[in-house]
Amino acid sequence: MKMGVDPGGTKIEGIVLDANGDELLCHRVLVPAGDYRKTPEAIAGLAGYIETSTEKSGTVGIGTSGAISPTSALLSNSNSTCMNGQPIKADLQALLNPGICMSNDANALRCRKQRMALPVALRLFLVLLLAQAGGLEP
């Protein structure tokens, strides 16, 4: 199973794909507007809902805008402005089990496009989520 979450500016979308890349479940929740503390909880809640609904669990891939500083571990340049200056990766690691894989969404898209020709109709978040959910080898 590959699970990915795309936290956006107004919605957080999660998806689970089986080993063949077929969608098992896709679900969307609203972002807690301007409330950083509730944002990691909403992401973890979405992941929990997906795991319960599919009776499957695994690492959660997260593609986010912005970048996590290697020195401070804080997110910067995110379009979800309440996450800027916050330790989003550490907060999510504390909430999610067995863990997360997190990267900038543009990097995930670039890597995924190099590995696989995708149909134009495939939604962007799916590309990001596949890459972040362990769909790529180093």
Segment 103-128 shows an average pLDDT of 49
Backbone angles phi, psi at 69, to 5 degrees: -65, 130
What is the pTM for the complete model shown? Answer: 0.76
12/103 Cα distance (integer angstroms): 16
- Residue pLDDT, tens place only, 71-98: 999 999 888 888 999 999 999 999 986 6
Domains of the chain by range and CATH? Answer: 2-135 (3.30.420.40)
Residue 16, burial from CB neighbour count under 10 angstroms (0-12, 13-18, 19+): buried
